[in-house]
Structure 1
Amino acid sequence: MLGRLLRARYATLFLLAAIMIAVPYLAPSAFYLRVAAVVWVFALAALGLTILMGYAGQVSLGHAGFLGLGGYAVAIGPARFGLDPVLCLFLGAALAGALAFLVGRPILRLKGYYLAIATLGFGVILALVFHSESDWTGGPDGMAVARVTVFGTRLAGAATWYWVTAGALLIGAFLALNIEASPTGRALKALHDSEVAAAGAGIDVGRKKLAAFVIGAIYAAFAGGLLAAMNGLITPDAASFMHSIELVAMVIIGGLGSVLGAVVGAAFLVVLPQALTVLQEYEQAVLGLLIMVFMIFLPAGIVPTLRKWLLERLS
């Protein structure tokens, strides 16, 4: 069993790395590398939700609030306190984790719809703070983000940010896969199936749910910091309710509980709207229709369904 888990883990990482290496050779221009970098960033944020929703079975409709928090940390730190943007990237993730720990303790006592509404309210509060505290955040127009310099080299250009975000996603995927295979990951999956049964087996349900919430927040904040640094700008829209819904949709469409599914779901919702721009005013309608079709015919998600289909053909 352990050997099978290790093989599956390394196969996922190898496949993801192979795709990352192949994309620059297939991309006809820097624009496509830019889109791919955005996919990697949102896939990283979706990985956090995979741990929270796919492993622990807890719903969050305010996850984009942590995405915005990480982005504003990278913007406010250098602008207001003269801190290094790279340091602020990690400080933003730590701040998001601390905030998730504080609010998660009361919120995660709720279940089902009540938990979803509570996390939604939390995300709305963060978005309103980013929107109204103009002295700190620049208000509705947002604020510029200082350019990132690493070892004297300024990170600029689509190709550079492509590899930075790809590396961050690969590390995030490696950590998520290790969490899945760890005792904590097995405990999270146990409470996903039944919190009562997990508690009966001696698992501290409240502690494990809180750990998943904190880890998911750290992933989202780090992704938000990368997005802000790459764009050179952060606005309250990063923490909007629609972005939270998009993150949830990425996890569900790709495959709930699948690391590779989070990447596929992110690619689906980032790349497809770009391809549908030729339809102009019908773009959103066609996108919604395609999402409905995928959910009807692939209810388990793209990656689990394809994996099952391949296994059936090979057996």
Structure 2
Amino acid sequence: MNTTPVLPRDRSPVLLPGLWVLLLAWPWLAPNDYLVSLGGTFFINLLLIASLNLLVGYTGLTSMAHAAFWGIGAYASGMLAVHLDTSPWLGTLAAMLACGLFSVLIGWPTLRLSGHYLAMATLGFNAIISVLLVGLVAWTGGPNGLIGIPPYTLAGWDLSLPENFYLLCWLLTGLVMLSLSFLQSSRTGRALRAIRSSDIAAACMGIPVLRQKLTIFVLANMLAGLAGALYAHQNLFISPDSFSFSTSILLLVMVAVGGFGQYWGAFFGALIFTALPELVRSFHDTELLILGAAMILVVGFMPGGIAGGLASWRARRQAGRKGATL
């Protein structure tokens, strides 16, 4: 995988707050509530793609079950709220903990292996979760989905309103993305990049490879669980179709299009993942056609994804300016 550096790593914490201030204005600039709610969906998708990029791009762990953990988060919080009348906030915490537990159960044996064993294990796990979501009708609603999920509320503040839910997602996603920007430039981030390059070399440098892999695997999937809970309490309805194996593949495609291992690549991937279905909604199967064409273009012309391509263009431009001044 191409990991051409994008913007200098230490600039992410500086640039991110400015971008987030601009995004704060969206509820007042959007012409209708639907576009405001689409902004909340963008933040949820950003959580998903950034967390998967943390696994695939930064650590080199190919997970094909990210949609399954997204679904576990959504159904765990939704079922607790619907069947046990649990607060959505407690349900969200439980959803993240459930994803963390499943991550340990899967990651502890498979992360010791090399090659594509993790991809195979996560693929099988996604299949199991898909079957359970359809088969446990009494709890999940089966193929018809789970209805009656309550929205978030906070001290009488109705977070089901699009602008209020947008602000909630804006805050939570901003904190996560800021934390990830510091993580990538930290000692742990450097260790992850070493593991991605070579497990053996990283171990020789004294890096606890298994512990680091397992920690990142748990963290990434817990963030997917957070995204799932937000998704459930935004839409107030969830169905197994949203968390199938094909969705896991689609998320991987979005990471690739944005740029493997590129911090800003997650933003491009989330933007495409959010906007494309809306743009091609009236054209049957056009979404798959466009995504297929995008993958061919990325592999052939921008192996570093959109973020990597922009970084290369910027580097060439700066080099040209320096050459012109000499």
Q: 1:5 to 1:283 in 2, by over 3 A?
A: closer
Alignment correspondent of 2:193: 189
Q: In the aligned structure 2, how far is the partner of 1:6 from the partner of 1:261?
A: 13
Identity %: 33
| Local SS of the residue matching 2:78 | helix
More displaced 10-residue stretch of structure 1: 133-142 or 223-232: 133-142
Alignment correspondent of 2:252: 248
Alignment correspondent of 1:302: 306
Task: Name the structure with the higher helix share.
Answer: 1
Contact kept, 8 Å, 1:61 with 1:116, in 2: the verdict is yes
Shift, 1:203, TM fit: 1.0
Contact kept, 8 Å, 1:40 with 1:263, in 2: the verdict is no
Q: In the aligned structure 1, how far is the partner of 2:115 from the partner of 2:45?
A: 25
Within the candidate set 228, 234, 242, 2:238 is matched to 234
Q: In the aligned structure 2, how far is the partner of 1:263 from the partner of 1:20?
A: 12
Shift, 1:278, TM fit: 4.8
Q: 1:227 to 1:281 in 2, by over 3 A?
A: closer
Alignment correspondent of 2:279: 275
Shift, 1:128, TM fit: 1.2
Shift, 1:79, TM fit: 2.1
Alignment correspondent of 1:152: 156
Shift, 1:158, TM fit: 2.0
Q: 1:140 to 1:281 in 2, by over 3 A?
A: closer
Q: In the aligned structure 2, how far is the partner of 1:26 from the partner of 1:294?
A: 32
Alignment correspondent of 2:122: 119
Contact kept, 8 Å, 1:55 with 1:189, in 2: the verdict is yes
Shift, 1:218, TM fit: 0.6
Once the two structures are superposed, the pairs formed by residues 142-181 of structure 1 within 5 Å of their partners are 142-144=145-147, 145-181=149-185
Q: Which runs of 5+ in 1 are unaligned?
A: none
Would you say 1:32 and 2:35 are equivalent positions? yes
Shift, 1:277, TM fit: 3.2
Contact kept, 8 Å, 2:10 with 2:185, in 1: the verdict is no
Shift, 1:126, TM fit: 1.3
Alignment correspondent of 1:138: 141
More displaced 10-residue stretch of structure 1: 279-288 or 92-101: 279-288
Contact kept, 8 Å, 2:73 with 2:226, in 1: the verdict is yes
Q: Deviations over 1:254-280 (max 9, x none)?
A: 111123211211111221232123544
Q: In the aligned structure 1, how far is the partner of 2:283 from the partner of 2:240?
A: 28
Q: In the aligned structure 2, how far is the partner of 1:281 from the partner of 1:221?
A: 28
Q: Which runs of 5+ in 2 are unaligned?
A: 1-6, 320-326
Alignment correspondent of 2:111: 108
Shift, 1:18, TM fit: 4.2
Q: In the aligned structure 1, how far is the partner of 2:19 from the partner of 2:152?
A: 26
Alignment correspondent of 1:94: 97
Q: Which amino acid aligns with 1:107?
A: T
Contact kept, 8 Å, 1:67 with 1:224, in 2: the verdict is yes
Once the two structures are superposed, the pairs formed by residues 52-67 of structure 1 within 5 Å of their partners are 52-67=55-70
Q: In the aligned structure 1, how far is the partner of 2:9 from the partner of 2:259?
A: 20
More displaced 10-residue stretch of structure 1: 207-216 or 265-274: 265-274
Would you say 1:84 and 2:87 are equivalent positions? yes
Would you say 1:221 and 2:225 are equivalent positions? yes
Contact kept, 8 Å, 2:9 with 2:184, in 1: the verdict is no
Contact kept, 8 Å, 2:257 with 2:294, in 1: the verdict is no
More displaced 10-residue stretch of structure 1: 79-88 or 11-20: 11-20
Alignment correspondent of 1:211: 215
Shift, 1:102, TM fit: 1.8
Shift, 1:124, TM fit: 1.2
Shift, 1:106, TM fit: 0.9
CA RMSD in angstroms, aligned pairs only: 2.0
Shift, 1:30, TM fit: 2.0
Q: In the aligned structure 1, how far is the partner of 2:19 from the partner of 2:122?
A: 31
Q: 1:270 to 1:295 in 2, by over 3 A?
A: farther
Contact kept, 8 Å, 1:62 with 1:244, in 2: the verdict is yes
> TM-score, normalized by length of structure 2?
0.89
Shift, 1:81, TM fit: 2.2
Q: Which amino acid aligns with 2:307?
A: V
Contact kept, 8 Å, 2:96 with 2:226, in 1: the verdict is yes
> TM-score, normalized by length of structure 1?
0.92
Contact kept, 8 Å, 2:106 with 2:121, in 1: the verdict is no
Q: 1:113 to 1:19 in 2, by over 3 A?
A: farther
Q: Deviations over 1:219-252 (max 9, x none)?
A: 1000000001000012112321111112111211
Contact kept, 8 Å, 1:16 with 1:170, in 2: the verdict is no
